[in-house]
Amino acid sequence: MLERRVFGEVPRKHHIALRSPEGALRHEECVTRDGFEGPYTILYHERRPHAARPISAPGGWRLPESVGKQRLAKRHYRSFELAKAPGSPITARVPLLFNRDVTLSVVKPSASDTVYFSDGDADQLIFVFEGVGELISQFGRLRFEKNDYLFIPRSTIHRFELPPGAEQYWLSFELHGGLHLPRQWRNEVGQLRMDAPYCHRDFKLPAFQGPVDEGIRELLVKRNAAFHGFGYEESPLDVVGWDGAVYPWVFPILSFQPRVSSVHLPPTWHGTFAARGGLICSFVPRLVDFHPESIPCPYPHSSVDMDEFLFYCDGNFTSRRGILPGSISHHPAGVPHGPHPGAYEASLGTKETNELAVMLDVYQPLEPTAAALALEDTEYSESFL
């Protein structure tokens, strides 16, 4: 594909800020395809881009009645406002966004599981925003804590054991096409490359205990979005050993080693896990762009074929005001988004960022549930004006 440049004198490094003859900063906008892995174009704006207000009938053209009434807009959900659920992780899951490849939920359980559970529909990846506990499975006991990713393979029989009174707040990914490590971090035979942002030692495995009988004989199986109950005569944890490549694990997000560059790096450099139709990224504390003319604050951007989901965990989120830990933003494909006015200029001279966030880019559009719409910050889209 040929690259074309139309803007007089454009810098050789497309990530370096373009300046006017008077030295004023130009605003950059990145338009990408294939989740930053394919072609891209950088647009340089005279004024701040994307000061657009959603309207119901652009140009007088109206949607057919068969089309849903939900307007396409940038959304912000205050998931931290969800009350602690009176139940175990099985019943405390509150789905917020979904498509055919992934269901995104918030989980705030208040009690341990009293039955075993097996998800026959999806691999589960849980980010522990707040909390501590143990995953008990046929593979043994696996401890997790705050800022851990916890992976549970499809159809693994398990339950959660939570300490009484501990505050729990999890982000759940149900990945219907499975989870794997991105190809960019693996060699031809599947091993992690030496330049990968993590190594095998960063992944924590269950502590195997041999045959276990907890006195629990009930199993709940999820298959084809329906739940089915089964009873055992013997303990399903009656396992004398295991060997293989499918098992639960824990990965602390702060074990992810971020890249540092003189210019802004695209999100794929933060890619941590991959799934069918999506990429999960980890934004961890790091040094920012150090070129003398770089702008550390991310440029406004439009992704023409991917929805962007972002869960804010901790730190100073300089690009947008009003974002708190536990906030969720959803930017649909084709809807431009970027920093607040003044964020560009304020980021000049910044040496590091302490932000902590989890992002998911997906090809298929994400649909909000009724629970998500009840938590929506309806003024968020207006904040881009």
Instruction: Give every CB contact of residue 360 below 8 A, 6+ residues apart in sequence.
Output: 102, 104, 173, 278, 279, 280, 281, 308, 309, 310
Instruction: Give every CB contact of residue 195 below 8 A, 6+ residues apart in sequence.
Output: none
Q: Which CATH number does the domain housing residue 155 bear?
A: 2.60.120.10
Whose structure tokens read 């652009």? 58
Residue 6 inside a domain? The answer is no
Q: Take residue 347 and report the two structure tokens written for it.
A: 């980021």
Structural domain of 276 = 27-51+71-75+257-384
**374 phi and psi, to 5 degrees?**
-70, -20
Q: For 243-281, how does the pLDDT look when each residue is reduced to its tens digit (9 = 90+)?
A: 888 899 999 999 999 998 888 888 889 999 999 999 999
Of 253, 283, 315, the residue at which a domain comes to its end is 253
Q: Take residue 334 and report the two structure tokens written for it.
A: 């084709």
Residue 334 inside a domain? The answer is yes
Q: Which of 316, 255, 308, 242 lies closest to 282 in space, CA to CA?
A: 255
Same domain, 240 and 264: no
Q: Which of 257, 253, 281, 282 lies closest to 362 in space, CA to CA?
A: 281
First vs last Cα of the chain: how many Å apart? 35
Whose structure tokens read 């988004």? 337
Same domain, 118 and 232: yes
Q: How far, rounded to the nearest angstrom, does the alpha carbon of residue 109 sit from its chain's CA centroid?
A: 20
Of 188, 219, 253, the residue at which a domain comes to its end is 253
Q: For 52-110, how does the pLDDT look when each residue is reduced to its tens digit (9 = 90+)?
A: 455 455 444 544 454 444 555 667 767 766 766 678 999 999 999 999 999 999 999 99
Of 236, 253, 270, the residue at which a domain comes to its end is 253
Q: Which of 135, 154, 102, 80 lies closest to 359 in space, CA to CA?
A: 102
- Encode the chain (385 residues) as per-residue pLDDT tens digits: 344 444 444 444 444 556 666 666 666 656 666 655 666 666 665 556 555 455 455 444 544 454 444 555 667 767 766 766 678 999 999 999 999 999 999 999 999 999 999 999 999 999 999 999 999 999 999 999 999 999 999 999 999 999 998 999 999 999 999 999 999 999 998 899 999 999 999 999 999 988 899 999 999 999 998 888 888 888 999 888 888 888 999 999 999 999 988 888 888 899 999 999 999 999 999 988 888 888 887 777 777 889 999 999 987 766 666 678 888 999 898 888 877 777 777 888 888 888 899 999 999 999 999 999 998 888 887 777 6
DSSP code of 200?
G
